[in-house]
Structure 1
Amino acid sequence: MSLSYSTIAWVACLARGRVENVSYAYKKTTSTDLMFKIFNAIGQISFAFASHAVALEIQAIIPSTHEKPSKIPMWKGIIGAYIINAICYFPVALVGYWAFGRDVEDNVLMEFERPSWLIASANLMVFIHVVGSYQVYAMPIFDLIEKVMVKRFKFPLGVALRLVVRSTYVAFTLLFGVTFPFFGDLLGLFGGFGFAPTAFFLPSIMWLIIKKPKRFSTYWFINWASIYVGVCIMLASTIGGLRNIITDASTKFYT
């Protein structure tokens, strides 16, 4: 799905051509605003390439033996996945910026009105993709909440508990999305606060604890560098995304 609607997006931009008086110059803004926008952009990038947690869940269900370890097909799958990821993102970013310059929308599909059937098809693909990915990322949260409700609050595990917990969670995320409909800002916030820890530095911390490599060895340096960079990404993008949400909400709240 993502490959399909991404292709529609950049091909539509290419067919549309550059808008009149397109500008590639920086928007006039204060140095503070620029800094926070850069922080938010870092979060958006980390969101786009932070699928390690899901990759581990997939690897956990792949049969693995000493003769045929699961890491071999998993490594091939990850390389293929990131190649497809790049094919989806980079053409949209490059062609979208070429067509609309500095005024391009966070969601480039919002720049188009015609042909209506094509834009509707792309948005339908986005919807189907998000519904599926929502299940993947929400299931661990459902499981965590239900365990807490059963163990700490002694609720009986069953259909009723799952219906209430999952419906409440979905309703909360829906309310949050309607209240703060700032696509780019939310990507930056969740990229930093939600995905940077699990993707960029927690795996390195766990690896150092388990493997205990020799201090100042190559792998020791690589993992500590990953931890340092990951923490910086988490702090910068979380602050940038949160600040931009507050700024946008002050002028666009429920409008």
Structure 2
Amino acid sequence: MKLFFEDVCGSTCNSQPLTTIEWYLVFICLAVIIAQLPNLNSIAGVSLIGAATAVTYCTLIWVVSVSKGRQPGVSYDPVKTNSDMDKMLRILNALGIMAFAFRGHNVVLEIQATMPSTLKHPSHVPMWRGVKAAYLIIALCLYPIAIGGFWAYGNLIPSSGMLNALYEFHGKDTSRVVLGLTSLLVVINCLSSFQIYAMPVFDNMEAGYTRKKNRPCPRWLRAGFRAFFGAISFLIAVAFPFLSDLAALMGGIALPVTLAYPCFMWIVLKKPQRYSAMWYINWWLGSLGMGLSVVLVIAGVWQIVKTGLKLRFFKP
């Protein structure tokens, strides 16, 4: 939002820019306003907008980066490590970051629960198609930007990511319209993502009230729940601005949601014959997912210990 404001305002702007915390507050206010939509079904359009903006800004970033050519002095040499073990842990740490990038899996079951399902037309059939299409779109966004970004910048890519690389290397030779549009699309995508990931939390809050009071949750209280969640999100963002440095660790922790829990859930629900082929396959895949999660968590902790973690409490 700050980058978008600077692009729109230009170098001749005399207005006093907002601080980082104030930009956080502007974002969370917008997110809470949009969050008044009642349920997951009602935010289908919001989800579509989020997907479209993600595809567009990812494409803009890698197309501009590649079209401008490689940067002078770019290097593709591997990062030097002290040992093979250190190299292996860095690879596992990168896998953890990739797992975190494919983080939509933690709302898949909530989305499927909103779909009509019968014995003749079970909900898992269209849901499986949707999941495959969604992950294909994610791959089409992330792999071109990773490959194109590495080709254009190599070891010069800033730790803050490709959007900052675009501004750092091409802020002066790229149209302000393109830069501003890219930043705006990122903001819209983040506002959309907030709704999707927060809706299960809202549902749990309202379901808890309904169970306790045995009556529907009134609209004013629903709005209060969502404003409260927005305030908590704002507090966490301001108090712990270094959470993005823990992406690999969180990716390893969240990995069982995709690679382990579904296998164990299938065994519990379907109850296959003990020691049958399907029983062995699901136990093996679930155990493999849990083992991979443990390894990725260890690699994430190792990377944090090795590189250090700057604890910038309340200093976003």
Aligned positions of 1:231-246 closer than 5 A: 231-241=290-300
Counterpart amino acid of residue 237 in structure 2: G
Give distance in 2, aligned partners of 1:15 and 1:100.
12
The verdict on how the C-alpha distance between 1:252 and 1:13 changes in structure 2, with shifts beyond 3 A counting, is farther
Residue equivalent to 1:3: 55
Secondary structure at the counterpart of residue 249 of structure 1 = coil
Q: Which moved more, 1:66-75 or 1:26-35?
A: 26-35
Whether the aligned pair in 2 keeps the contact of 1:185 and 1:242 (CA below 8 Å) is no
Asked if 1:248 is matched to 2:314, the reply is no
Give distance in 2, aligned partners of 1:172 and 1:30.
42
Whether the aligned pair in 1 keeps the contact of 2:255 and 2:289 (CA below 8 Å) is yes
Give distance in 2, aligned partners of 1:196 and 1:50.
9
The match for 1:25 among 57, 77, 84 is: 77
Residue equivalent to 2:3: none
Give distance in 2, aligned partners of 1:206 and 1:68.
21
Aligned positions of 1:67-216 closer than 5 A: 67-105=120-158, 106-113=160-167, 114=171, 115=174, 116-145=176-205, 158=218, 162=222, 165-182=225-242, 185-193=245-253, 195-216=254-275
**TM-score, normalised with respect to structure 1:** 0.80
Whether the aligned pair in 1 keeps the contact of 2:241 and 2:312 (CA below 8 Å) is no
Q: Which moved more, 1:236-245 or 1:101-110?
A: 236-245
Asked if 1:66 is matched to 2:126, the reply is no
The verdict on how the C-alpha distance between 1:37 and 1:170 changes in structure 2, with shifts beyond 3 A counting, is farther
Q: Which runs of 5+ in 2 are unaligned?
A: 1-52
1:51 CA displacement: 2.5
Deviations 1:145-191 (A, max 9, x none): 45567878xxx965665555433432333343344445753432332
Of structures 1 and 2, the one scoring higher in RCO (CA 8 A, sep 6+) is: 1
Whether the aligned pair in 2 keeps the contact of 1:197 and 1:234 (CA below 8 Å) is yes
**RMSD over aligned Cα atoms:** 3.4
Give distance in 2, aligned partners of 1:41 and 1:23.
19
Counterpart amino acid of residue 113 in structure 2: A
Give distance in 1, aligned partners of 2:77 and 2:235.
36
Q: Which has the larger radius of gyration?
A: 2
Q: Which moved more, 1:70-79 or 1:29-38?
A: 29-38
Identity across matched positions, percent: 37
Counterpart amino acid of residue 157 in structure 2: V
Give distance in 1, aligned partners of 2:222 and 2:256.
28
The match for 2:285 among 226, 239, 242 is: 226
1:44 CA displacement: 1.8
The verdict on how the C-alpha distance between 1:125 and 1:225 changes in structure 2, with shifts beyond 3 A counting, is farther
Give distance in 2, aligned partners of 1:17 and 1:25.
18
Whether the aligned pair in 2 keeps the contact of 1:42 and 1:233 (CA below 8 Å) is no
The verdict on how the C-alpha distance between 1:250 and 1:135 changes in structure 2, with shifts beyond 3 A counting, is closer
Give distance in 1, aligned partners of 2:179 and 2:239.
25
Whether the aligned pair in 1 keeps the contact of 2:242 and 2:311 (CA below 8 Å) is no
Secondary structure at the counterpart of residue 279 of structure 2 = helix
Secondary structure at the counterpart of residue 111 of structure 1 = helix
Aligned residues: 253
Counterpart amino acid of residue 111 in structure 1: A
